[in-house]
Amino acid sequence: MIPEVTFKTRVGDNEILGGACAIGGEWKNITTNELFKNKKIVLFSLPGAFTPTCSSQQLPGYEIKYEELKKYVDEVYCLSVNDAFVMNAWFKDQKISKVKPIGDGEGKFTEGMGMLVKKPKQGFGSRSWRYSALIDNCTVVKKFVEEGKNDESKDGDPFTISDVDTMLNYLKNN
């Protein structure tokens, strides 16, 4: 089972402060049950918004192939240990309109998934290790975890099996 947490999200932010940052809306709590219960979900998680691999490959890849994924699942979520403002600004900057952002600002969900790592070399603090998962009604069916998970920033930031093509191939063949 996935961890039961409440995500702090933002809705209705439409007043642009500059760049991609928007305010004017309100906080909305959303639970894991609201997002995952009685649904089949592709979740992919990454170290951080506005970072090179996340912005140039992983997030855009899932956005481009969103409609293909939707043939097999109810929704596609991108999760990062970033707050809702950062996730929303990043999605706006990247022009992401299909994949849904989940800001796990305190890392509680990520920790419960066993994917919280420290990234001292980059000065990131605690972040998510890169992975993707197929989740059916709050149960992890399949997880693609990048090799080398560690708390010392060793071996960089691998991106070989948490990509959209690996997930799509799994969905097509199962």
Position 123 scores a pLDDT of: 66
Distance CA 21, CA 97 (A): 16
Return the pLDDT at 118: 84
The yes-or-no verdict on residue 26 having pLDDT over 70 is yes
Q: Kindly tell me if the per-residue pLDDT of 152 is higher than 70.
A: yes
Span 42-60, average pLDDT: 93
Task: Please measure the distance between the N-terminal and C-terminal CA atoms of the chain and give it in whole angstroms.
Answer: 20
Residue 2 has pLDDT above 90, yes or no: yes
- Determine the Cα angle at 91 with ends 144 and 6, to 5°: 65
Cβ neighbors of 34 (< 8 A, separation 6 or more) are none
pLDDT at residue number 41: 98
Q: Are the C-beta atoms of 158 and 146 separated by less than 8 Å?
A: yes
- The catalytic site residues sit at 54
pTM (2 d.p.): 0.94
Query: What local confidence, expressed as pLDDT, does residue 15 receive?
Result: 87
Structural domains of the chain, ranges and CATH numbers in brackets:
6-173 (3.40.30.10)
Quote the mean pLDDT of the chain: 94
- 68-96 residue pLDDT tens: 999 999 999 999 999 999 999 999 999 99
CA 107 to each of CA 15, 19, 71, 88, 119: distance values in angstroms, whole numbers, following the listed order: 27, 26, 30, 17, 13
Q: Is the pLDDT of residue 132 over 90?
A: yes
Q: In the predicted model, is pLDDT for residue 37 greater than 80?
A: yes
